[in-house]
Amino acid sequence: MDEKIRVDILSVIERIVEILRVKEAKDIIEVRELSNRTIHDASVFQDEDSISIAVLVYALSKIMERKGTLIDYAKLISMFEDAVIMLHESRIDSYRQIIKNVLGYISNIDSRIRAYIEEVINQAQIKKGSKIYEHGISIARASAVLGISQWELMRYIGKTGISDRFEEDLYLTKSRLEIVRRLFT
C-alpha cells in the first residue's frame, strides 16, 4: 500500500472512531462524507484499499441510517481501532482482514438485510465508479478496479449526465481553440 494512501485511510478511520464515540444526529452525513474523501486517491492511484474503505464507510452510513439501534458501536469502534493499530504498524494484510471483518459484521446485523447490504455495497461501488470516471479514468478501468460490470457503471453514468458534461467541456475547448487559431492567422 502506498504511504500516502495509508495515511489518508488512517485519518479516515480515526475520524470514524471519533464520530462513533459521540452519537449525534449528523453522524450519518459525516460518515458518508468520509467515504468521498478516499475517491481522490482511488482516482489517482487506482488502488483497491481506497475503494474498499470508501465502500465500507458508505455502507456503514446506510446501516446507521436504517438500522442504527441494532449496531454495537463499542464493537465497531474496537474493530476500527484495531485497524488503526495495524495501519500504524504497516501490517497491511492484518488491516485488510479487519476491514473484511467489519464488513462481515455490518452484513450480519440483521439476517433479513444481508441482501440489502450487498445491494448497498454494489450501489456504492457504482457510485464510486462514476466519481472515478469523473476524474478522467476510463469506464473499463473504473469497473475493473471496483469489480463491477461496465454495463452497470455506464447505466448509472448515463442517468447522472456525467458524460454530457464531458461533451460540453469538449465543445468549449474546441470553440476556444478556434478563437485562438483565428487570433494567430
pLDDT at residue 139, rounded to an integer: 83
| Averaged pLDDT for residues 158-176 | 60
Whether residue 184 has pLDDT greater than 60: yes
Residues 27, 28, 33, 37: is their CA dihedral positive or negative?
Answer: positive
pLDDT at residue 111, rounded to an integer: 57
pLDDT at residue 85, rounded to an integer: 96
SS3 for 95-143 is: HHHHHHHHHHHHHCCCHHHHHHHHHHHHHHHHHHHHHHHHCCCCHHHHH
Whether residue 175 has pLDDT greater than 80: no
Residues 30, 59, 111, 17: is their CA dihedral positive or negative?
Answer: negative
pLDDT at residue 161, rounded to an integer: 64
In 3D space, the residue among 47, 49, 48, 67 whose CA is nearest the CA of residue 59 turns out to be: 67
Give the pLDDT confidence of 114-165 residue by residue, as tens digits.
Answer: 565 566 567 777 777 887 787 778 888 888 877 788 888 888 877 766 554 4
What does the domain layout of the chain look like in residue ranges? 3-160
pLDDT at residue 11, rounded to an integer: 92
Give the pLDDT confidence of 27-86 residue by residue, as tens digits.
Answer: 888 988 887 676 666 655 667 787 778 778 877 887 888 877 788 999 999 999 999 999
Most confident of the following: 10-19, 125-134, 173-182: 10-19
pLDDT at residue 179, rounded to an integer: 75
In 3D space, the residue among 38, 24, 71, 4 whose CA is nearest the CA of residue 146 turns out to be: 38
Give residue 83's identity as a one-letter amino acid code. Answer: A
